Amino acid sequence: MTPTRRLVVQSALAASAIASPALGAVTKAAKPLRLLILGGTGFIGPHEVRYALARGHKVTIFNRGRQKEAWPGPVEELLGDRNTGDLKSLEGRDFDVCIDNPTTLPFWVRDAARVLKGRVKQYVFISTISTYAGADKPGDETAPLMSYTGKDAYAETQKAVAEVPMLYGALKAESEAEAKRQYGEAATTIIRPGLICGPGDETDRFTYWPVRLARGGDVLAPGDGTDPVQFIDARDLAEWIVRTAEQRTTGTFNALGPARPLTMKGFLEGVAAGVAAHPHYVWAPEAFLDAYKVNAWSDMPVWVPGDGETAGFHRRANRRAVAAGLTFRPVSVTAADTLAWFKTLPAERQAKLRSGLTADREAGLLAKLKAG
């Protein structure tokens, strides 16, 4: 066994069956594939791996460090570092499909293509709806994208993206273009998710609501309940990505749900149903939230105003993805599973959510709102 390659043997979890309780009964694919997943240990990666194994595929993952994940089947793990160009473990290897989960920087796409071009039949690039140039109008996959205007897109680093968040969408758009240049449009699939949520989400951008509603009492809710909401369960996304590989689906897709329009009020009702909660919502007008510097998306997760410069943010068309087989779990299921996962985390992690209002701040705002 080489230093850059190891085989994670079938674990005890697979003693009785490949499919886990979370997946339920999963039918085998018509034809097993050799799948390479770049970034198979992040948020959506493990969901992809488990579903691919349940479908009968041979899975290889590529990442920077060995993981302690207990896979329900044999998974080959290749080690390397795309930041430094260490792709030796990929050299001379052939795969049916490459799924690229974590890439933001165009040079990651370009460098990987040096060893994978001509050795993969399909390249699936996981992008983001942040590639779109504006959020003021609803749009489909043909809407204008952001443009990177720096001197050299390839010279940007992860540190630069962290320091200048506005680079994120532009560099993702440039990475999409690089993927098409390297592999050709006929062999490239571009998937643009919206807010990804569900078990394993460390941002708490969705998790805040199941946790908060389960606590009960008066709940500060943003707007008047009519603003639109879009998101996607990480498992729905991961499973559909694997199916696009099976079906050799190419093109560009907005991957976000639900299947039908959903309002913030409907969203919270779905979350409440999932966690068996009966909260009392106190709706806070946008002007009130602005006055007290309650920020959309971070302080009030999931939500953004449904008018003005964000009128189209939660109104991205998903018709193309739905036609290609994207399906969605009910909000209640995502909420219940997310809360159950969150409760397995250490107490100190549960004590401090990474998004949303603290209990003290919410109480203060509710008092001001009720006082008029």
pLDDT at 11 over 80: no
Percent residues over pLDDT 90 in the chain: 81
The answer to whether the pTM exceeds 0.85 is: yes
Mean pLDDT of the chain: 91
Of the candidates 296, 140, 284, 295, the residue with the CA atom closest to the CA atom of residue 229: 296
Interval 301-312 mean pLDDT: 97
Interval 46-59 mean pLDDT: 97
Cα–Cα–Cα angle for 66, 69, 75, rounded to 5 degrees: 75
State the pLDDT confidence band at 9, using cuts at 50, 70 and 90.
Answer: very low
Instruction: Kindly give the pairing relationship between strand 75-79 and strand 5-8.
Output: antiparallel
- In this predicted model, what pLDDT tens digit does every residue of 108-128 receive, in sequence order? 999 999 999 999 999 999 999
Residue type at 277 in one-letter notation: A
- pLDDT for 76: 95
- pLDDT for 148: 82
pLDDT at 3 over 50: no
- In this predicted model, what pLDDT tens digit does every residue of 327-368 receive, in sequence order? 999 999 999 999 999 999 999 999 999 999 999 999 999 999
Report whether 313 contacts 254 (CB < 8 A). Answer: no
DSSP code of 136?
S
State the pLDDT confidence band at 219, using cuts at 50, 70 and 90.
Answer: very high
Which SS3 state, helix, strand or coil, does residue 83 take?
coil
Of the candidates 250, 255, 232, the residue with the CA atom closest to the CA atom of residue 124: 250
Which residues fall within 8 angstroms of residue 77, CB to CB, at 6 or more apart?
A: 5, 6, 7, 8, 60, 61, 62, 63, 66, 67
- In this predicted model, what pLDDT tens digit does every residue of 138-172 receive, in sequence order? 999 999 999 987 656 556 666 666 666 678 899 99
Interval 98-105 mean pLDDT: 93
Helices (DSSP H) in the chain: which residue ranges? 45-54, 106-116, 158-163, 167-183, 208-215, 234-246, 264-274, 286-291, 319-323, 331-342, 347-350, 359-371
Helix and strand numbers (H, E) in the chain are: 12, 12
- In this predicted model, what pLDDT tens digit does every residue of 40-50 receive, in sequence order? 888 999 999 99
pLDDT at 66 over 90: no
Interval 219-247 mean pLDDT: 98
pLDDT at 201 over 50: yes
pLDDT at 12 over 60: no
Q: How many angstroms separate the CA atoms of 220 and 286, rounded? A: 12
Q: What is the DSSP string of 102-115?
A: S--SHHHHHHHHHH
